[in-house]
């Protein structure tokens, strides 16, 4: 199990607590320390699509110029933005054996993990 995100993010903290409460071992990948790769994001996009992986709330998205926001229309344009601005990736991304189990945090999803 691998959890991707930023340690001080509130939803990442909730996800980590939920996994720990269930006794689920996981490896944490810190976007800020370890970065993100094109292959990593491309794999997620193939599984969940850019609409589900792109975080349109928060200060990073809010500060983007409108022309950048409106230019995001598909996986390729979202990938370019996510590589440049990893904070626009919805956190956390929970992965098991290269399969995305969840993006963001929803308590019900974490309670019903299909491992």
6's CB contacts (< 8 A; 6+ apart) are 12, 30, 31, 32, 87, 91
Following DSSP, what letter does each residue of the chain receive, concatenated?
A: -EEEE-TT-HHHHHHHHHHHHTT---EEEEHHHH---HHHHHHHHHHH-HHHHB--SSHHHHHS-HHHHHH--SHHHHHHHHHH-GGGB-S-EEEETTEEEEES--HHHHHT---
Whether 9 is a known active-site residue: answer: yes
User: Among the options 9, 48, 83, 113, which is catalytic?
Assistant: 9
Q: Please state the pTM of the whole predicted model.
A: 0.92
Going by their DSSP bridges, the two strands 2-5 and 99-103 should be labelled as unpaired
Residue 54: per-residue pLDDT: 97
pLDDT tens, per residue, the chain with 115 residues: 999 999 999 999 999 999 999 999 999 999 989 999 999 999 999 999 999 999 999 899 999 999 999 999 999 999 999 999 999 999 999 999 999 999 999 999 898 887 6
Position 62 scores a pLDDT of 95
The pLDDT of residue 58: 87
2-111 to CATH, choices 3.40.630.10, 3.40.30.10, 3.40.50.150, 3.30.70.1400: 3.40.30.10
How far apart CA 92 and CA 102 sit, in angstroms, is: 8
């Amino acid at each position: 199990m691998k959890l991707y995100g930023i340690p001080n993010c509130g939803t990442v903290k909730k996800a980590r607590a939920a996994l720990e409460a269930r006794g689920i071992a996981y490896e944490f990948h810190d976007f800020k320390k370890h970065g993100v790769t094109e292959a990593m994001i491309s794999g997620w996009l193939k599984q969940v699509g850019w609409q589900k992986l792109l975080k349109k709330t928060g200060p990073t998205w809010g500060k983007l110029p409108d022309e950048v926001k409106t230019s995001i229309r598909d996986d390729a344009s979202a990938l370019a933005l996510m590589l440049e601005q990893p904070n626009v990736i919805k956190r956390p991304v929970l992965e098991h054996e290269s399969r995305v189990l969840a993006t963001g945090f929803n308590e019900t999803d974490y309670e019903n993990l299909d491992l």
